[in-house]
Amino acid sequence: MIRKLKSGEYRLYSRKPDAKTHRRKNLGTFKTREAAEKHEREVQYFKHH
């Protein structure tokens, strides 16, 4: 899940909220949306291999 920050950067959050904190985990901050989407694909690939 990608959200745009006020600073203009994009942050990648986990799809499901954390069971303990009830918030989504921050999986990285990126300058462009394309970079965030690329990393999200890498994360999803890694989770299933």
Domain residue ranges in the chain: 2-47
What is the pLDDT at residue 12?
Answer: 98
What is the pLDDT at residue 9?
Answer: 98
As a whole number of angstroms, the distance between CA 42 and CA 23 comes to 22
Alpha helices in the chain (DSSP H): 33-47
Query: What pTM was estimated for this model as a whole?
Result: 0.87
Which tokens hold the place of 33? 């949306």
Q: What is the pLDDT of residues 1-49, one digit of tens each?
A: 999 999 999 999 999 999 999 999 999 999 999 999 999 999 999 999 9
What is the pLDDT at residue 24?
Answer: 97
